[in-house]
């Protein structure tokens, strides 16, 4: 059987990855880097509109901005043989904002075998307020192979089911001690250990907890929580560059 590296996505299965960290800590860049190697379709929800992929302007890149969430998967938008990445920035002033965002999760669920990337998951998966389609995608998305990359600043107002259901929890800088304890609690890690590991991180470095990794046998090192260096300048460029436009 193929062994997954910590945090690696297996596109043939559902993987839920939650990324937590203060504003500007590097969540979105890392999420886009991870999503860049995902080979199937994606739905990207970007409430603040600061994570527009460069590919959006490139003809036949497969990246398409949608003004509203279509009722059916817009297969006609797919350039032949390429994955389709639907980018959606909802109108933050819409009285139906939560429903609008929920539709995006619903589209990913209905489509199946795709990735739902939500840059502001704190707005969609709010404690006791997660709307129905997002709830369904999270609790029943396994059979449909709907992977998720969910990014949030703080864990305190995040629906507890998010940490419970996550296969992978990535943690950037988290200044608030109570937040750190909440995350440690969510992944079942000793809080003091977790705090120390976070304190040792370089800027833009992160901790990665992988629930799919088996707990250590006696005398073995626990590989479920690992510490990662920041994305390199080259990896960051990969995120923002977009594809080279094809010559006509």
Ligand X SMILES: Nc1ncnc2c1ncn2[C@@H]1O[C@H](COP(=O)(O)OP(=O)(O)OP(=O)(O)O)[C@@H](O)[C@H]1O
Q: Give which of ligand X, Mg ion, none residue 3 binds (C-beta under 5 to 8 Å, depending on kind).
A: none
Apex 230 CA angle, 228 and 231, nearest 5: 115
Please give the residues from 186 up to 245 whose contact with ligand X meets the rule CB under 6 A. Answer: 204, 230-231, 236
Q: Are strands 114-118 and 146-152 parallel, antiparallel or unpaired?
A: parallel
Residue 162 near residue 121, CB atoms below 8 Å: yes
H helices present in 112-159, as ranges: 121-124, 132-140
What gap in Å lies between CA 41 and CA 62, rounded to an integer?
9
Binding of residue 28 to Mg ion (CB under 5 A): yes
Site string for ligand X, 128-167 (x = CB under 6 A): -------------------------x--------------
Cα separation values, 30 from 1, 42, 51, Å: 27, 16, 11
Q: Give which of ligand X, Mg ion, none residue 204 binds (C-beta under 5 to 8 Å, depending on kind).
A: ligand X
What gap in Å lies between CA 52 and CA 74, rounded to an integer?
20
Residue 189 bridge partners (DSSP): none
With CB under 6 A as the contact rule, the residue among 14, 20, 27, 187 that binds ligand X is 27
Q: Give which of Mg ion, ligand X, none residue 153 binds (C-beta under 5 to 8 Å, depending on kind).
A: ligand X
State which residue has the least CB distance to Mg ion.
Answer: 28
Segment interacting with Mg ion, rule: CB under 5 A, options 96-104, 119-127, 196-204, 208-216: 119-127
What gap in Å lies between CA 81 and CA 56, rounded to an integer?
17
Binding of residue 25 to Mg ion (CB under 5 A): no
- When the beta carbons of 32 and 136 are compared against Mg ion, the nearer one is 32
Q: How far is the CB of 19 from Mg ion (least distance, A)?
A: 9
Residue 139 near residue 164, CB atoms below 8 Å: no
Binding of residue 29 to ligand X (CB under 6 A): yes
> Which of 216, 155, 234, 218 has the alpha carbon at shortest distance from 187?
155
With CB under 6 A as the contact rule, the residue among 1, 2, 5, 23 that binds ligand X is 23
Contact set with Mg ion (CB under 5 A): 28, 119
Contact set with ligand X (CB under 6 A): 21, 23-29, 153, 204, 230-231, 236
């Amino acid at each position: 059987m193929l062994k997954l590296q910590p945090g690696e996505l297996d596109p043939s299965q559902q993987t839920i990855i939650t990324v937590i960290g203060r504003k500007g800590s590097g969540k979105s860049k890392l999420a886009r880097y991870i999503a860049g190697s995902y080979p199937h379709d994606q739905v990207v929800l970007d409430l603040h509109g600061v994570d527009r992929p460069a590919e959006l302007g490139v003809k036949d890149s497969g990246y398409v901005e949608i003004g509203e969430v279509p009722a059916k998967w817009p297969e006609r938008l797919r350039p032949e043989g390429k994955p389709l990445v639907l980018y959606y920035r909802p109108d933050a002033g819409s009285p139906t904002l939560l429903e609008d965002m929920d539709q995006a999760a619903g589209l990913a669920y209905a489509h199946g075998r795709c990735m739902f990337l939500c840059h502001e998951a704190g707005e969609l998966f709010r404690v006791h307020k997660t709307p129905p389609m997002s709830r369904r995608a999270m609790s029943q998305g396994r059979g449909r192979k709907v992977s998720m990359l969910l990014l949030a600043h703080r864990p305190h107002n995040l629906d507890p089911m998010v940490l419970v259901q996550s296969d992978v929890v990535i943690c950037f800088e988290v200044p608030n001690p109570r937040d750190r304890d909440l995350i440690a609690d969510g992944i079942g890690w000793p809080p003091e250990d977790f705090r120390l590991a976070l304190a040792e991180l370089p800027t833009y470095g992160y901790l990665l907890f992988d629930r799919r990794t088996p707990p250590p046998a006696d005398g073995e090192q626990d590989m479920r929580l690992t510490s990662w260096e920041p994305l390199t300048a080259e990896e960051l460029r990969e995120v923002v560059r977009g594809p080279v436009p094809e010559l006509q």
